[in-house]
Structure 1
Amino acid sequence: MKYILKLYFKYLIFLLFIFGGLYSCSIAKHIPEDERLYTGAELNIVSDSIIKNEAGLRKELESVLLPEPNSKFLGMYLGLYYHYKNQNGKPGFINRWLYKKLGEKPVYQSDVETFEVQDLLLNRLENRGFFYSRASSEFEESEKKASALYTVDVPRPYRMETYQLDSLPAPIYKEIDSLVKESPLSKGMRFDLNKMKLERLRIDSNLKERGYYNFNESFLIFEADTNRYDNKSFDLFLKLKKAVPSKSIVPYKISKINVYADYNTTDSIPSEIIRYKDKNYLEEDMFFKPKYLDPFITLEEGQFYNPETSRNTARRLSTIGAYKYVNIQYKEVDTLATDDLGLLEANIYLSPLNKRAFSAELQVVNKSNSFTGPALALTYSNRNVFGGGETYNTTLKVGYEAQIGGGKQSGDSSFELGLKNELIFPRVIFPIKINDDFFEYSIPKTKTSLSLDFQDRRKLYTLISGTALFGYVWDANRYVTHQINPISVSYTDLMKTTPEFELILDDNPFLKRSFEQQFISGLTYSFTYNEMVDQQKTHQKFLNFMLDVAGNSISLFGKDQGPDAPKTFLGMEYAQYAKADLDLRYHFNFGKEQTIAARVFGGYGMAYGNSDIIPFVKQYYAGGPYSIRAFRIRSLGPGTYNPEEDPNNTSENFFDKTGNIILEANVEYRFPIVSFLKGAVFADAGNIWNSKENPTFGGKDKFTKNFINELGMGAGVGLRVDIQSFVIRFDLAAPFHDPSLKKGERFNFDVSNPILNFAIGYPF
């Protein structure tokens, strides 16, 4: 497979060079004799004074330099080329398909309306306070191509002296007057239409939050007066337009709240009303108990209308997991025309999901331990189990996994069978009552789960494990999520081992000890800050901090087994350790679907008390499709260890290399190719180490101040099939710094032996 891909890339580069030399002739011969291909425009700004934020002004002006010329790829007009090819009498199936995906109609010099562009330039300049500007244009022509040059003469702009509020009726005058005094518009500000639009939106938003239900920003109008000044200054006045409806300038309060907890548009409205905490709950069969639903509703009777409170209520109700639709509607209550206060009736319509659901999912599993393969997951869900929004899920999973590449070796395939039961409460379950008002953005969920897994790893071992969790998860705001599991218990039993695996354990006492710690009981906490939810942002940041502490509470009940033996709990040896890691990511999005993605990951684990080594399942590894892609999974490190140079190594088939310290860094440039095909160029660096020397590795695994020179480094290219955020990823990478080699031989970009990685989803 690697050989085929290498040939493919070489063939592609060869074709690009050949095609690049031939395409220009085929493009030129199709351009009509009386036309020239339009290649774009340049803008020249001439000013008699210094322009503040000239880069921002230039960007806005360049946005109106229309039309856009035909796009180019590596200097070639591929879209235009396939357009002309499709004009032939018999373009062929491939050319028709390429035209559909890439084709572009030609943009000629005659398509450019320079006078219209000049008017747009002047309009944008006036909107920014540069009145009485001038614009001109000219073409630069060659035999078959033409470009446009636009020049704008920009005079000194008009600047604001005062910002005042005109006379308005009560009670809205007092509200707007206080907002004008807090305005970001200040003396000396350049006349800017965009800033005035933002000011109207700011005032409208604040008025809405103060109860002005029927107000609209379009009711506000600005007037600029220059009569008092001779130095390009102006006074700015804010007014209300004429004939503004009287009900738009009075605040509204909520007089009644009706909650339809089991609403169906085909059903009649329930006649029975349950009054609970100043709200009316209307439901026939008590679908959702009011005492459990009420904390999610932040609307209150007598409260001024506030759209933010309404959105907050809708968001909180949506997070319960029992409802398909959440719809909040307001109805005006008739009041006298002379009243200075309006009344609203709030109706909350909640349409539930089906109570029971069954799903079957065929998955392509790609795990961190390099195993890849199909898995079938069957899930039964029961929503609103006890009438309080509780969700019960039970999942049966069957999977077969195998490691890709590297030849056949022991442990390179695995069969897994798992059963997981999960019960989720949309509220805090705690011995001491916690006020729900403390959680303003969302109410935490209490999650409990019990799971049992059976794994058979070929020619190595058979393992059975059980896990029990009790914890909480909640969103502090749009970007921040906390998850804490005060109870996290797992038990692992190595039921059956082969002689081959026993030999591996005998050769590596540290590894053997890590498998002996069967019982893990502790606490885990995760903090996540995620800006990736805003897909349109240019700069996106992500941070995840994970803390895992085990064995402290259970040690109070530990039973002594002697001076040199570890303590046990219920006859089982338990693990005691602390582990923390930090994952930092940054995405810079620019151009059309282009991204530079960077990541730094570091972690440290420390065994203490009842343990002298962290359990195997909690240790770090390096290498693979989600790590350092130029090295096979778990093949990198620890430190500078090289099993081929170890005369005592008899367990080379056991490819899992782990440590209690990790450091990784990645950078990747992602770009579109065509339609759902994406490409990438990347570089990775990282390694694992042990803080305590493992004699099996001859001391080469220990972390030292020289760790920078012990990083494994690699680079490569990738191809991704991205269909509506479902990503199948192929990455071809080669190492250029291998820490397992001798000093002086480590830097070697071995492109002749690349590693092919297959994975699901982006690596970071």
Structure 2
Amino acid sequence: MLIWIGSFYSCSITKQIPEDERLYTGATLTIESDSTIVNESGLKSELESVLRPEPNSTFLGMHLGLYYYYKNQKEKPGFINRWLYKQFGEEPVYQSDVEAYEIETLLLNRLENRGFFYSRAASAFEETENKASLNYTVTVPKPYRMASYKMDSMPDSMDDIMKTLVSESPLESGMRFDLNKMKLERQRLDKELKAKGYYNFNDNFLIFEADTNQYSNKNFDLFLKLKNEVPKKSLIPYKISKVNVYPNYEGVDSIQTPSTTRYNDKNFIQKETFFKPKYLDPFITLEEGNYYNPKDSRNTARRLSTIGAYKYVNIQYKEVDTLADDNLGELEATIYLSPLNKRALRAELQVVTKSNSFAGPALTLTLSNRNLFGGGETYNITPKIGYEKQLGGGQNSGNSSLELGLHNELIFPRVLFPIKINEDFFEYSIPKTKTSLSIDYLDRSDLYTLLSGTALFGYSWDANRYVTHEINPISLSYTELLNTTPEFEDILENDPFLRRSFEQQFIAGLTYAFTYNEMINAQLKHQFYFNFTFDIAGNTISLFGKDQGTESPKTFLGFEYAQYAKADVDFHYHFNFGKEQVIAARLFGGYGLAYGNSDVIPFVKQYYSGGPYSVRAFNIRSLGPGTYNPNSDTTDGDIVFDKTGNIRLEANVEYRFPIVSFLKGAVFADAGNIWNSKENPIYNGKDKFGSGFISELGMGAGIGLRVDIQSFVIRFDLAAPFHDPALPKGERFNFDVGSPILNFAIGYPF
């Protein structure tokens, strides 16, 4: 069948090629040399990069792009053909489009740039009835190699520095003549000189001269020189004589009648105290008396932008006229900071779907107050209301869930700690201190009312562009189960593990998260994301726990507290290719261990599987644990509450592609499940993790439709299971396309 299709495409394309043309199928390159070429494969790759034009692409031997191009040339190609051409079509590349002599010139130029002077290039077409390819041959002599690298005379103001920099050069004796390495050397010298204060220097002021007169064996001496008539101000270093800071710059009018506060050798200029100098000063790495260094400017701009109070950071330098010393210039640095609106309101409306066919809207409002106390502080208050109703015709149809929440967060753009910490240690960014206090109310009409409160105190900071740390040394949570229904009491009666997970109401511990994220760099072809999260609770307060007897857990301030450790690893990989096409993959693993005062992890800390951000062919919290089947493994039907465990493994892969404008598509497959390391009797032993866990993974596949408007994504995923671990062995592989699950969510799953 594939051969027949390929023949059909080839025949269809061949008929469209003009009589006086041949389809260009590409070029080959052969290197001939009378001596050994070091890294010949690298040289060949570089030469092949100039071979133009690129031939039309093929897929399994078929020119699909050409096929859609020719189909679109018809008088009435139709909507589908026009769309296919827009996505995949390619204009044909013919033999007449190839300028072989120009390519030969480029090949010789590249060879000379790499030290292979007096090379030769030739080309010849290889033709068939309707196709043509081109063979290039380059004859490469022995290359020129560097005998020594020396610096010519330099002005007194930079002679010593240049000698040191040249002595540290990566250019080594014996290396092949390489123009690209020389360009990199000029850039290195320029960067190093800039870092030492040479504000007006430019790498174009440097030139290289190669002298072969002393040798007869294709060796040369390389000399570094300055061009003639380089401006004198480019050859002297500059120091910063003054640092001016405008903390509340809103245009020229905002600096007409300001007052100046002198703090730590900086001038803070503002009409009234908008941002206190003592809090703003640590973000500024520019110092009076220091040599100019562009790295200080970049660090200052980045650190100031992370405060969260400013929309623009603009650093400008002005040369100061001075006659004091002709070998030293002075710069006046001025930092203009344009603040964001002090108050902002953000609203987010979601439609959520949950297990047991629950669905409904959720509204979240966030009111932000920036620079609250004049030190860059940000206060966020976030009320939330959500309502869900169980849809469908089951016996529980009509049950509802109401969620109310209030989240308060106060962020300080500095370290709050009893002992003073030198913030210069954090070169890339200054840590933020985050405090939060939240309360949530959840009323599930058919089960219970849950009241919970949380409090956090911790720090977060960026170690570099990609790495972020977050640690919360104080993490408190209290949960109280209220107004349970008889139905829920029956569930608790049948599941003592679940009852224990609700009884331990008080959680006090520490959390830490490490994140490496290359997804912020859209230019990367290969993007990686890694997150490690560690959560430990109960160790400190166990020192003050009150013993309630040998058969009862300890309490703290009258509350039974939880004691556990939990670790998660989340890995993402994106391969970007073509026109907005991405292959995205994800691996997740998590394990929680209850110990000491607990024999089960609190319910809110347990894992679940299934849903729009997990295995999409299964409803939220409906997958697992293990091979448990609520319809066959219990006598009373599904008496099991939301299915959870203390072990979770998942893997996902997804191909994303554009459809039209902001509409995107996807094809995906997911696998995963949850287990318990200690058997829960209610699951009849089918929930325990073991060596056969691979055969217990729930697997599904599906298609997706996404509305992506400037990174705001509304996602619809339709998935069906093809491996259900709840079924008996031998029956688990069954692609149940007749019972798909529709997932609705905001944002990409990974």
The TM-score, its normalising length taken from structure 2, stands at 0.91
Q: Which moved further from structure 2: 549-558 or 387-396? A: 549-558
Looking at structure 2, the residues matched to 98 and 703 of structure 1 have their Cα atoms a distance apart, in angstroms, of 48
Please say if residues 141 and 147 of structure 1, whose CA atoms lie closer than 8 Å, have aligned partners that are also in contact: yes
Please say if residues 324 and 351 of structure 1, whose CA atoms lie closer than 8 Å, have aligned partners that are also in contact: yes
Equivalent of residue 180 in structure 1, options 159, 166, 169 = 166
Looking at structure 2, the residues matched to 528 and 152 of structure 1 have their Cα atoms a distance apart, in angstroms, of 49
State the Cα distance separating 1:56 from its structure 2 match.
2.9
Residues 432-454 of structure 1: per-residue CA shift (max 9 Å, x gap): 22222122111111111222222
Matched, 1:246 2:208: no
Matched, 1:664 2:643: no
Please say if residues 532 and 540 of structure 1, whose CA atoms lie closer than 8 Å, have aligned partners that are also in contact: yes
SS in 2 for 1:644: coil
Q: What is the match of residue 640 of structure 1? A: 627
Q: What is the match of residue 502 of structure 2? A: 515
Looking at structure 1, the residues matched to 657 and 554 of structure 2 have their Cα atoms a distance apart, in angstroms, of 55
Question: Amino acid of the residue matched to residue 302 of structure 1?
Answer: G
State the Cα distance separating 1:666 from its structure 2 match.
3.9
Please say if residues 366 and 760 of structure 1, whose CA atoms lie closer than 8 Å, have aligned partners that are also in contact: no
SS in 2 for 1:343: strand
Q: What is the match of residue 438 of structure 2? A: 451
Q: What is the match of residue 529 of structure 2? A: 542
Taking a change above 3 Å as real, the CA distance of residues 163 and 751 of structure 1, as seen in their structure-2 partners, is farther
Equivalent of residue 259 in structure 1, options 238, 242, 245 = 245
Please say if residues 101 and 675 of structure 1, whose CA atoms lie closer than 8 Å, have aligned partners that are also in contact: no
SS in 1 for 2:483: strand
Looking at structure 2, the residues matched to 694 and 55 of structure 1 have their Cα atoms a distance apart, in angstroms, of 60
State the Cα distance separating 1:280 from its structure 2 match.
0.7
Question: Amino acid of the residue matched to residue 309 of structure 1?
Answer: D
Q: Which moved further from structure 2: 189-198 or 411-420? A: 411-420
Taking a change above 3 Å as real, the CA distance of residues 518 and 726 of structure 1, as seen in their structure-2 partners, is same
Residues 7-57 of structure 1: per-residue CA shift (max 9 Å, x gap): xxxxxxx9x999877655554444332223333333333333443333333
Question: Amino acid of the residue matched to residue 544 of structure 1?
Answer: N
Please say if residues 270 and 282 of structure 1, whose CA atoms lie closer than 8 Å, have aligned partners that are also in contact: no
Taking a change above 3 Å as real, the CA distance of residues 578 and 140 of structure 1, as seen in their structure-2 partners, is same
Question: Amino acid of the residue matched to residue 281 of structure 2?
Answer: D
Taking a change above 3 Å as real, the CA distance of residues 385 and 226 of structure 1, as seen in their structure-2 partners, is same
Matched, 1:202 2:194: no
Q: What is the match of residue 695 of structure 1? A: 681
Q: What is the match of residue 297 of structure 1? A: 284
Question: Amino acid of the residue matched to residue 121 of structure 2?
Answer: A
Please say if residues 357 and 392 of structure 2, whose CA atoms lie closer than 8 Å, have aligned partners that are also in contact: no
Q: What is the match of residue 42 of structure 2? A: 56
Residues 560-617 of structure 1: per-residue CA shift (max 9 Å, x gap): 4444233334443322222122223344445665555443322221222332211111
Residues 111-157 of structure 1: per-residue CA shift (max 9 Å, x gap): 22111111112212222222222222223333333333323233332
Matched, 1:492 2:492: no
SS in 2 for 1:440: coil
Q: Unpaired runs of 5+ in structure 2?
A: none
Q: What is the match of residue 133 of structure 1? A: 119
Taking a change above 3 Å as real, the CA distance of residues 88 and 593 of structure 1, as seen in their structure-2 partners, is closer
Please say if residues 278 and 301 of structure 1, whose CA atoms lie closer than 8 Å, have aligned partners that are also in contact: yes
State the Cα distance separating 1:744 from its structure 2 match.
5.2
Taking a change above 3 Å as real, the CA distance of residues 77 and 408 of structure 1, as seen in their structure-2 partners, is farther
Looking at structure 2, the residues matched to 684 and 667 of structure 1 have their Cα atoms a distance apart, in angstroms, of 7
Question: Amino acid of the residue matched to residue 622 of structure 2?
Answer: S
Equivalent of residue 332 in structure 2, options 332, 345, 366 = 345
Question: Amino acid of the residue matched to residue 435 of structure 1?
Answer: N
State the Cα distance separating 1:640 from its structure 2 match.
3.2
Please say if residues 504 and 650 of structure 1, whose CA atoms lie closer than 8 Å, have aligned partners that are also in contact: no
Question: Amino acid of the residue matched to residue 240 of structure 1?
Answer: L
Taking a change above 3 Å as real, the CA distance of residues 182 and 350 of structure 1, as seen in their structure-2 partners, is same
Residues 383-404 of structure 1: per-residue CA shift (max 9 Å, x gap): 1111111111112223345789
State the Cα distance separating 1:355 from its structure 2 match.
1.2
Taking a change above 3 Å as real, the CA distance of residues 370 and 118 of structure 1, as seen in their structure-2 partners, is farther
Residues 60-95 of structure 1: per-residue CA shift (max 9 Å, x gap): 222222223344556555554554455444555665
Looking at structure 2, the residues matched to 461 and 80 of structure 1 have their Cα atoms a distance apart, in angstroms, of 63
Question: Amino acid of the residue matched to residue 254 of structure 1?
Answer: I
State the Cα distance separating 1:660 from its structure 2 match.
1.1
Q: Which moved further from structure 2: 239-248 or 675-684? A: 675-684
The TM-score, its normalising length taken from structure 1, stands at 0.89
Looking at structure 1, the residues matched to 454 and 522 of structure 2 have their Cα atoms a distance apart, in angstroms, of 35
Please say if residues 418 and 451 of structure 1, whose CA atoms lie closer than 8 Å, have aligned partners that are also in contact: yes
Q: Which moved further from structure 2: 514-523 or 742-751? A: 742-751
Residues 149-200 of structure 1: per-residue CA shift (max 9 Å, x gap): 3232333322222111111111212112111111111122222211111111
Looking at structure 1, the residues matched to 425 and 720 of structure 2 have their Cα atoms a distance apart, in angstroms, of 52
Q: What is the match of residue 460 of structure 2? A: 473
Mapping 1:676-755, distance limit 5 Å: 682-714=668-700, 720-731=706-717, 737-743=723-729, 746=732
Question: Amino acid of the residue matched to residue 177 of structure 2?
Answer: F
Q: What is the match of residue 323 of structure 2? A: 336
Taking a change above 3 Å as real, the CA distance of residues 108 and 435 of structure 1, as seen in their structure-2 partners, is same
Matched, 1:461 2:448: yes
Looking at structure 2, the residues matched to 158 and 405 of structure 1 have their Cα atoms a distance apart, in angstroms, of 80
Q: What is the match of residue 11 of structure 1? A: none
State the Cα distance separating 1:314 from its structure 2 match.
0.7
SS in 2 for 1:542: strand
Q: Which moved further from structure 2: 265-274 or 253-262? A: 265-274
Question: Amino acid of the residue matched to residue 532 of structure 2?
Answer: F
Q: Unpaired runs of 5+ in structure 1?
A: 1-13
The alignment covers a number of residue pairs equal to 749
Matched, 1:152 2:152: no
Question: Amino acid of the residue matched to residue 687 of structure 2?
Answer: D
SS in 2 for 1:497: coil
Q: Which moved further from structure 2: 52-61 or 22-31? A: 22-31
Question: Amino acid of the residue matched to residue 517 of structure 1?
Answer: Q
Taking a change above 3 Å as real, the CA distance of residues 540 and 751 of structure 1, as seen in their structure-2 partners, is same
State the Cα distance separating 1:502 from its structure 2 match.
2.4
Taking a change above 3 Å as real, the CA distance of residues 520 and 333 of structure 1, as seen in their structure-2 partners, is same
Please say if residues 219 and 241 of structure 1, whose CA atoms lie closer than 8 Å, have aligned partners that are also in contact: yes
Please say if residues 467 and 490 of structure 1, whose CA atoms lie closer than 8 Å, have aligned partners that are also in contact: yes
Residues 370-415 of structure 1: per-residue CA shift (max 9 Å, x gap): 9765432222211111111111111222334578999786798644
Question: Amino acid of the residue matched to residue 124 of structure 1?
Answer: R
Please say if residues 545 and 556 of structure 2, whose CA atoms lie closer than 8 Å, have aligned partners that are also in contact: yes
Please say if residues 507 and 650 of structure 1, whose CA atoms lie closer than 8 Å, have aligned partners that are also in contact: no
Q: What is the match of residue 359 of structure 1? A: 346
Q: What is the match of residue 286 of structure 1? A: 273
Question: Amino acid of the residue matched to residue 122 of structure 1?
Answer: L
Mapping 1:267-416, distance limit 5 Å: 267=253, 268-336=255-323, 339-365=326-352, 374-401=361-388, 414-416=401-403
Q: Which moved further from structure 2: 253-262 or 450-459? A: 450-459
SS in 2 for 1:208: helix
Looking at structure 1, the residues matched to 194 and 132 of structure 2 have their Cα atoms a distance apart, in angstroms, of 53
Taking a change above 3 Å as real, the CA distance of residues 159 and 626 of structure 1, as seen in their structure-2 partners, is farther
Taking a change above 3 Å as real, the CA distance of residues 622 and 404 of structure 1, as seen in their structure-2 partners, is farther
Question: Amino acid of the residue matched to residue 53 of structure 2?
Answer: P
Looking at structure 2, the residues matched to 114 and 337 of structure 1 have their Cα atoms a distance apart, in angstroms, of 62
Looking at structure 2, the residues matched to 563 and 588 of structure 1 have their Cα atoms a distance apart, in angstroms, of 56
Looking at structure 2, the residues matched to 403 and 237 of structure 1 have their Cα atoms a distance apart, in angstroms, of 80
Please say if residues 411 and 459 of structure 1, whose CA atoms lie closer than 8 Å, have aligned partners that are also in contact: no
Q: What is the match of residue 607 of structure 1? A: 594
Looking at structure 2, the residues matched to 98 and 441 of structure 1 have their Cα atoms a distance apart, in angstroms, of 47
Please say if residues 261 and 281 of structure 1, whose CA atoms lie closer than 8 Å, have aligned partners that are also in contact: yes
SS in 1 for 2:631: helix
Taking a change above 3 Å as real, the CA distance of residues 674 and 61 of structure 1, as seen in their structure-2 partners, is farther
Looking at structure 1, the residues matched to 557 and 478 of structure 2 have their Cα atoms a distance apart, in angstroms, of 12
Please say if residues 411 and 432 of structure 2, whose CA atoms lie closer than 8 Å, have aligned partners that are also in contact: yes
SS in 2 for 1:171: coil
